[in-house]
């Protein structure tokens, strides 16, 4: 790795200064998943970035998925996954597996990686303190849920204690029945409920592309109205639609901006928050440019 000139290092730090001031005291919800979670080096860098944000006075809230890890354990247990319209059919046994993986493994790994740098992270499930009230998506899907309501009290309590909440996406209904919920949807709902300044989605693509086969077609900034028109025109289809729906839900909840970032890029959170150019796609509720 080549050495960076000391003057360049100083310039980088100076460039970050207005952003550190701008976002000091703000809450940022980060949906964490994909290769950024699976690749050990990227996972270590993600934990470092989150701790740096915290050290700069930003309040990170981490929402994570774990679909590939659930699939791996199901395979080891000899259970064949079943999908309908891209959603995992979740019977009682699959729900138990999902809870074990999300709450007992993935969540603990993220908390441990952050706490290497100090006693900062606290693991949560959406079942804790009534955080996520869920409802059944469709009987054919079993225990796949949608977010009905978010009670952010426990998150706000942890943030007030200068801790970092790490949330796995198992929610429950009023009867205590647990449901597995899409992490993108949870992140959007939580961002609105906690009054986040930004919601950031780490993905396995550079951002929102006009042509999914052309990385050069990246859309760097777009409004919610433009997204609705793109969906109506059939320009956005398939797996990107649920993610965009989650982004729009965050905007409807009052979040000023939502960002789709390529989680495969080392330290992508810092590049987005602390540099002049930013990366990925920024989604806002009205026309504008990237703010300082």
Q: Any catalytic annotation for residue 79?
A: no
Among the options 66, 109, 171, 243, which is catalytic?
243
Among the options 34, 123, 207, 280, which is catalytic?
34
Vertex 117 angle, CA 100 and 201, to 5°? 60
Q: Any catalytic annotation for residue 31?
A: yes
User: Dihedrals φ, ψ of 199, to 5°?
Assistant: -115, 125
Give the strand pairing for 132-136 and 218-219: unpaired
Q: Any catalytic annotation for residue 96?
A: no
Going from the C-alpha of 32 to that of each of 13, 64, 66, 76, 235, the distances in angstroms are 26, 5, 9, 24, 26
Among the options 109, 128, 184, 262, which is catalytic?
184
Give the strand pairing for 178-181 and 170-172: antiparallel
* 8 A C-beta contact, residue 34 and residue 64: no
Q: How many residues does the chain have?
A: 292
H or E element at residue 227:
helix 224-232
Q: Any catalytic annotation for residue 245?
A: no
Query: Exposed, middle or buried: residue 10 (CB in 10 Å: 0-12, 13-18, 19+)?
Result: exposed
Active site residues: 31, 34, 67, 184, 243
């Amino acid at each position: 790795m080549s050495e960076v000139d000391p003057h360049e290092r100083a310039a980088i730090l100076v460039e970050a200064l207005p952003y550190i001031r701008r976002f000091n005291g703000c809450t940022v919800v980060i949906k964490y998943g994909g290769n950024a979670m699976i690749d050990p080096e990227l996972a270590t860098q993600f934990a470092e970035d989150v701790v740096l944000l915290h050290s700069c006075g930003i309040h990170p809230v981490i929402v994570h998925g774990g679909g590939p890890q659930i699939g791996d354990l199901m395979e080891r247990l000899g259970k064949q996954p079943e999908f309908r319209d891209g959603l995992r059919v979740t019977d009682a046994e699959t729900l138990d597996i999902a809870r074990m993986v999300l709450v007992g493994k993935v969540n603990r790994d993220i908390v441990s990686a952050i706490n290497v740098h100090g006693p900062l992270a606290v693991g949560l499930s959406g079942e804790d303190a009534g955080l996520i009230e869920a409802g059944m998506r469709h009987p054919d899907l079993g225990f796949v849920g949608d977010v009905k309501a978010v009670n952010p009290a426990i998150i706000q309590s942890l943030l007030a204690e200068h801790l970092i909440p790490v949330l796995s996406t198992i929610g429950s209904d009023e009867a205590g029945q647990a449901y597995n919920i899409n992490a993108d949807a949870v992140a959007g709902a939580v961002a609105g409920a906690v009054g986040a300044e930004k919601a950031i989605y780490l993905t396995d693509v550079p951002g929102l592309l006009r042509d999914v086969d052309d990385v050069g077609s990246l859309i760097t900034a777009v409004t919610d109205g433009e997204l609705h028109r793109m969906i109506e025109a059939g320009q956005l289809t398939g797996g990107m639609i649920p993610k965009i729906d989650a982004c729009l839900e965050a905007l409807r909840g009052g979040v000023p901006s939502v960002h789709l970032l390529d989680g495969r890029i080392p330290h992508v959170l810092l590049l987005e928050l602390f540099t002049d150019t930013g990366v990925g796609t920024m989604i806002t509720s009205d026309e504008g440019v990237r703010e300082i």
